[in-house]
Amino acid sequence: MTSKIKVFPGTPLREVDFKEGKILYRHDEMNGQYAWDTGIGIGSYLAALKEGVLLGSYCRSCRRTVVPPRTVCEWCFRPMNSYIPLKDTGTVNTFSLCYITWDLKRIKEPEISAVIEIDGASPLHGIMHKLGEVDPEDVHIGMRVQAVWKPADEREGAITDILYFKPIKEG
């Protein structure tokens, strides 16, 4: 059928159509403010972060330690309410060097996002965070890293109580 149709519907607009005022549109800014309850599992996680501890939870049936902690085990659907402190060290599972912001503004020094497998959690179990105190050129998968915390009196019970993870100097 497509081979028989020559002209497809749709009217593409160009940037210049807007600049020259050829297009009418309505612009609005939506009010979107929220306050999210933390729940039980993440509430415990945040409380521990305030104390300078990364918390996971453990399922006895599956012998699995996950992070962040949660109240139900996805695998066996049993309660997962045994919370255990993990180390604040880990291994870079993967990373990116990001040169733009969410609204496509360029940044010169890349933000380094990473998935960090946390020591004490099950294999391949990590969290997303950022890396710092490292030359972007030197970042690699498998790199050992440690959390850099805010000073205790500045922590507020948030993931940002960890400023970033930095490389562990070996030897």
Binding site for another protein (CB under 8 A): 1-6, 8-13, 23, 27-28, 30, 34, 36, 38, 42, 45-46, 66-68, 70, 74, 93-104, 110, 113-115, 124-130, 141, 158-160
| Residue 79, binding choice from Zn ion, another protein, none, Cβ under 5 to 8 Å by partner class | none
The amino acid at residue 153 is D
| Residue 59, binding choice from another protein, Zn ion, none, Cβ under 5 to 8 Å by partner class | Zn ion
* Of residues 61-80, those binding Zn ion (CB under 5 A): 61-62, 73, 75-76
| Residue 66, binding choice from Zn ion, another protein, none, Cβ under 5 to 8 Å by partner class | another protein
| Residue 152, binding choice from another protein, Zn ion, none, Cβ under 5 to 8 Å by partner class | none
> Quick one: which of 65, 71, 68 has its CA closest to 47?
68
Task: Report the Cα 160 to chain-centroid distance in Å.
Answer: 11
Sign for the CA dihedral angle at 149, 49, 129, 67 comes to positive
- Here the tokens at position 134 are 């490292």
**3-class secondary-structure state, position 17:** helix
Whichever of 116 and 167 has its CB closer to another protein, that residue is 116
- Here the tokens at position 135 are 């030359």
